[in-house]
Amino acid sequence: MEAEAETMNTDETSAQRPLDGRRDDIIVTAARLFAENGYASTTMTQIARACGLRQSSLYYWFGQKEAILRELLALNRITMDFIVTQIADTAESPAVRLLRLLVFDLNELCQAPVDISEIDALAERQPDGFREYWEDMSVLHRELTALIAEGIERGEFTACDPELAALHICAAEQGIQHRFRSSEAHRPGGASPFQHPVLDRGEFVTEAARWLVRSLLADVTSMPAIVAAAERQADAGAPATGDSAAPAVAVPSAGS
């Protein structure tokens, strides 16, 4: 019965279901089980049981296990789409494009149901099942490298190794989103000895993205003009700061 259930199809895909906390709970729980048992060894029955659902209820949200995996990989795809539709204009300053990309990507990472660090670790242990994840990561890293190289050539960014700088940005993004996710445990007055102010996502993401771009600039006094240009793009309808326009769905983006 389990083998049949694993490949069960439904007429309506999970992407057509209304989004709510239950769907996110399933994604988070499945990611944990994939990490503990391996993707291939985890069954829909186990996921349903861990979520406190009947198996038929689980199938309301996801017709098969592969659909959950696709949700875990979806975050990278949103950022890939943003690069194609919003960052491809080479007439725009590389620094402005990088700022817009980082704000968008960090927003997606901070809103996703699953910490990208967990997906990254899962993909490292099970590379065959997460080949699409690594392909998207390769594209993202290549685009970041090209954008930084262009900024160096135009004199906006300081001389550096573009590929290493892209890796540093990816690593920083992963840490930034993880700190945001764990911030509630460290709010003032809590039990943790490490405490910091309550973080507003929009403010935290925007400042982090600006900090990353500023670290590359050949002339840091150009930062206000870069910020203003990115905000003009937002006013024109392209997401540049604050909340992203794309829906918050689960799973690479730049966190590797």
Q: Which domains does the chain have, with CATH numbers?
A: 2-66 (1.10.10.60), 74-235 (1.10.357.10)
**151 token code pair:** 């900024």
CB atoms within 10 A of CB 90: 10
Round the CA-based radius of gyration of the chain to a whole number and report it.
20
pLDDT at 227: 96
pLDDT over 60 (residue 247): no
How do residues 202-227 score in pLDDT, each as one tens digit? 999 999 999 999 999 999 999 999 99
Rounded-to-integer distance, Cα 80 and Cα 139, Å: 8
Position 20 scores a pLDDT of 57
Once rounded to an integer, what is the mean pLDDT over residues 164-174? 96
Alpha-carbon gap, residue 42 to 36, rounded angstroms: 9
Range with the lowest mean pLDDT among 1-15, 151-165, 177-191? 1-15
Burial of 218 (0-12, 13-18, 19+ CB in 10 A): middle
